């Protein structure tokens, strides 16, 4: 079973198939690398090298009680890309995986990254801008923010459409 060990001792499982330009897939919460199998098989058939990992605490990676934050996720992704020696990689992230890719780019820069596709992501900004007292209730905070900014300005944002 292919694994890497991170600097804090967590074992990260990964799949690495094919050769060619690498596409790295980062899954959403609480999924695993297996959820990318259809996409990986498709791009493998098109001549790409495809990689997906089980995030710490998910799937076949070490089940840990801590380190479930974007910094650790980005560092784990950096450890994987360094271990595999990836150059000109395309990073694809869905949900939490999208936030992981964004944080990875923010911390590491665009070196060795060709493109990034962020799909229905939870970007780190959403967590960063949430008041500390509301982190556990971020959905409530987000709803309150929308209500206080969008609703009062609804006429300016989306003019009323009169029925035909």
Residues 124 and 137 in one domain: no
Q: Domain residues for 144?
A: 132-164
Residues 137 and 122 in one domain: no
How long a stretch of residues is the chain? 164
Global pTM reads: 0.75
Is the confidence at residue 164, as pLDDT, over 50? no
Residues 34 and 94 in one domain: yes
Taking only the tens place, the pLDDT of each residue in 34-73 is: 999 999 999 999 999 999 999 999 999 999 999 999 999 9
């Amino acid at each position: 079973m292919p694994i890497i060990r991170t600097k804090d001792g967590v074992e990260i499982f990964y799949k690495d198939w094919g050769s060619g330009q690498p596409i790295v897939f980062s899954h959403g919460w609480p999924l695993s690398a297996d959820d990318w199998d259809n996409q990986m098989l498709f791009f493998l058939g098109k001549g790409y090298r495809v990689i997906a990992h089980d995030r710490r605490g998910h799937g076949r990676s070490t089940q840990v009680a801590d380190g479930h934050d974007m910094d650790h996720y980005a560092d784990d992704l950096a450890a994987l890309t360094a271990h595999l020696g990836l150059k000109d990689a395309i990073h694809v992230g869905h949900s939490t995986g999208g936030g992981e890719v964004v944080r990875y780019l923010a911390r590491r820069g665009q070196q060795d990254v060709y493109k990034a596709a962020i799909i229905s992501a939870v970007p780190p900004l959403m967590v960063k801008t949430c008041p500390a007292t509301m982190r556990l209730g971020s959905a409530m905070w987000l709803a309150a923010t929308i209500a206080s900014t969008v609703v009062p300005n609804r006429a300016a944002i989306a003019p009323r459409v009169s029925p035909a």
